[in-house]
Homo-oligomer: A and B are copies of this chain.
């Protein structure tokens, strides 16, 4: 890549911070032991794993339970839903998820539906915001689990998690899970104070490595295992420890938590600059909540042009963005998130997400805004439905 390359897809994945890679390197080289082995090589790896677990626990305010290591946010989400539903089916078979969950929750809930669980969807308003009183209406005596993401991956709206957890606990015996994959590193989290029973995270969204994540489970919440085998994780999640990535995740969450206010302030300013420039383009709109949104997220629709085409023009101009969740590319249907928000049909296929992060500069924002304008004009000239 010799030409200009601007990365505006931090919500899909973020690069490793240098300090994180540095923290990992010893575990990719001399500290290679199996953390479950009692000998010196094993103990060196185990020390790294347990220090990282402490970093996670501290960062999440999760002292009232255990942080289990998983292979990522998707596994954590699957485990939370399937593990809790299977273990607690005799208490009830009703689950509530928001209408705008990531596929890791949505498809998992749909699998549970096939198995005989009933799933209700908590609706969102036009800004992708859920409302606690709507949750109250959906709670039933047989509701065992409520899962609402802390922040949405497509449009960035930050949900009122504390209130949702409160409504859940005051009106039912259900436990409250939140997919905080997009939130960690962008939103302050204090799991115990917020009334969270389970929380999923994924390291690569906060400048840690890919393929590693965690599920926090509050004391007293009991799940079936998703992955059986050896005695790791108190017998609840088997598999040889990936010490290098675990150490990287620990370092990444520590840095993310230390820097949270500065990071959010800096990225929010850049994002708002991008938003105000882009909204000068005719027939464009910002999707999601104007203020209760992830620092880096700017999701736009442009009448008359298709999101993936726009993505490609920008890619050719060296700007990496996303026309929805990267994970769902390959799917042809309009995003269930935009549909649930009741987006005007003309905007449904015309959406593009820019997500800014650590490495974004003001120059990047200016260049991107200009390229977006050019690209939109170019594609509108090709459009049969815009003139």
Contacts and interface: CB of A to CB of B under 8 A. Distances in A.
B28 A12 contact: no
Interface string A153-196: 00000000000000000000000000000000000000000000
A320 B231 contact: no
A345 B284 CA distance: 78
A7 to B, nearest CB: 6
Contacts of A225: 111
B16 A28 contact: yes
A330 B202 contact: no
- Of the candidates A33, A238, A241, A330, the one having the most CB atoms from chain B within 10 angstroms of its own CB is A238
A244 B71 contact: no
A371 interface: no
Nearest to A248: B28
Given A210-B242, A239-B74, A108 B229 contact: yes
- Of the candidates A12, A204, A243, the one having the most CB atoms from chain B within 10 angstroms of its own CB is A12
A241 B38 contact: no
Interface stretch (A116-124, A128-136, A321-329, A336-344): A321-329
A110 B5 CA distance: 52
Nearest to A44: B1
Nearest to A234: B330
B228 A39 contact: no
Interface string A10-26: 00111110000100100
Contact of A36 (B75, B240, B245, B329): B329
Contacts of A382: none
A74 B230 CA distance: 8
A327 B38 CA distance: 10
Contacts of A24: 28
Interface string A233-257: 0000011111111000000000000
- Of the candidates A21, A28, A107, the one having the most CB atoms from chain B within 10 angstroms of its own CB is A28
Contacts of A228: 74, 78, 103-104, 107-108, 110-111
Nearest to A318: B40
Interface in A276-318: 308, 311-312, 314-315, 318
Given A40-B315, A40-B320, A240 B202 contact: yes
A145 to B, nearest CB: 16
Given A34-B9, A330-B36, A72 B240 contact: yes
Given A33-B13, A71-B71, A228-B78, A327 B240 contact: yes
Contacts of A7: 41
A211 interface: yes
A211 B212 contact: yes
A40 B5 CA distance: 9
A65 interface: no
A9 to B, nearest CB: 6
A226 interface: yes
A195 to B, nearest CB: 26
A321 B37 CA distance: 9
Given A41-B9, A242-B211, A230 B327 contact: yes
A226 B229 CA distance: 15
B231 A327 contact: yes
Q: Shortest 4 CB-CB distances between A and B: which pairs?
A: A211-B242, A230-B327, A71-B71, A104-B229
20 contacts: A1-B40, A5-B41, A12-B240, A14-B32, A15-B32, A36-B330, A40-B315, A72-B239, A72-B240, A72-B242, A74-B227, A103-B231, A107-B228, A107-B238, A108-B228, A204-B240, A209-B242, A210-B242, A212-B242, A240-B326
